[in-house]
Structure 1
């Protein structure tokens, strides 16, 4: 479990995060939802320690991370896996080498142990046999899967995904969403996903935090997000015609249930 307490962050006098608190549960896909420029990625970077908040704190399973001793922060970082927006694979390394990289940096595994782990992770994301392929030979969806394999290779406890569906077609995006959720539940990981994709929200939104202009305006699940009474959230959700139609269907079903 990850907890954030009263997180504030400004850049050059502009407030980006304004007192955000919340809990991200273990074994669940926790979504940071909002339009571009609402502070989602900045909050994610504050949580993982890439940016230091001006005020507030972050705890990982009860251990304070912000402003703690360097060795404690480093120990927590060893348990973190990251899936970057553009996958961020090393172009000069093949698939096998990309997945092996964090094992070389963070563990004392032997070469054979590393290869066993690499092959296991590639098999888990459905990419067995692709070890020697270069990133340039992979589709967008395959790159995301390699990124996931690399993130979970060191047996991460916490998984952070920044816009994992960016640039993917709807079917591939759905497969990546489901893979992230499966891995989260299977390994009991605390997963935080930054997204603005309502398809992801409906598909894997176990816990959702909606940000608007640096503030947390709503928190809930995919089961009750369509019933929100927050105007900013509703404007965001129902900007899509498909979502407006879905809302109408839901309202009609509720009317038919009423005697």
Structure 2
């Protein structure tokens, strides 16, 4: 579990985060939802320690992280896995070397142990036998899977995903969403996902935090998000025709049920 309390952050006098608090639950996919420029990625960076909040605190499973001793912060960081928007694979390294990289940097495994772990996570993400491929030989979806494999290779406790569906076709995006959710539940990871994709919200949004102009305006589940009285959230959700049609069908079904 990750808890954030009263997070504020400004850059050059411009407030980006304005007093955000919340709890991100273990074993669930926690989504930071909002349009571009609402502060989602900055909040993610504050949580992992890449950006220092001006005010506020972050705790990981009860351990204070913000401004704590360097040794404690490093211990927490060893438990963090990151899936970057562009996958961020090393172009000059094979798939195997990319996944092995954090194992060499963060642990003291022997070579055989590292390769065994690489093979385990590659199998888990559906890329068994892809060890010697180069990133240039991979499709966008395969790169995301390698990115996920690298993130979970060190047995991470916390998984952070920045726009994991960026640049993917709808079917591949759905498969990546499902894979992240499966891994979250299977390994009992605390997962936080930055997204503006309503498909992801509807498919895997166990807990959703809606950000608007640096504030958290709403939080809840995917089952509740289509029926809120938050004007800004409704404008965001129903900005496309598909979601408007889905809402219309839901309302008609509820009306029919109530008239029986």
Give the TM-score, by structure 1 length: 1.00
1:4 deviates by: 0.1
Q: By how many angstroms is 1:101 displaced?
A: 0.3
TM-score by length of 2: 0.99
**Helix, strand or coil: the match of 2:250?**
helix
- Partner of residue 6, structure 1: 6
For 1:14 and 1:236, the matched residues in 2 are separated by 23
Is 1:60 aligned to 2:60, yes or no?
yes
Q: What's the offset of the Cα at 1:141?
A: 0.1
Tell me which residue corresponds to 2:230.
Answer: 230
Q: Does 1:73 align with 2:67?
A: no
The aligned residue for residue 125 of structure 1 is 125
Gaps of 5+ in 1: none
Show the 5 A alignment for 1:46-125: 46-125=46-125
Deviation of residue 52 (structure 1)? 0.1
How many equivalent pairs are there? 259
Shift of 1:47: 0.1
Per the TM alignment, residue 227 of structure 1 is displaced from its structure 2 partner at its CA by 0.2
Runs of 4+ in 1 over 2 A off after TM superposition: none
3-state SS of paired residue (1:202): helix
> What does 1:140-159 align with in structure 2 at a 5 Å threshold?
140-159=140-159
Quote the Cα distance in structure 1 between the aligned partners of 2:27 and 2:130.
29
How many Å apart are 1:220 and its aligned residue?
Answer: 0.3
Aligned counterparts of 2:258 and 2:20: Cα–Cα separation in 1: 39
Quick one: distance in 1 between partners of 2:34 and 2:233?
A: 8
* Residues 103-158 of structure 1 deviation map (CA, whole Å, 9 limit, x = unaligned): 00011000000000000000000000110000000000000000000000000000
1:249 aligns with 2:246: no
Matches within 5 A, 1:128-139: 128-139=128-139
SS in 2 for 1:143: helix
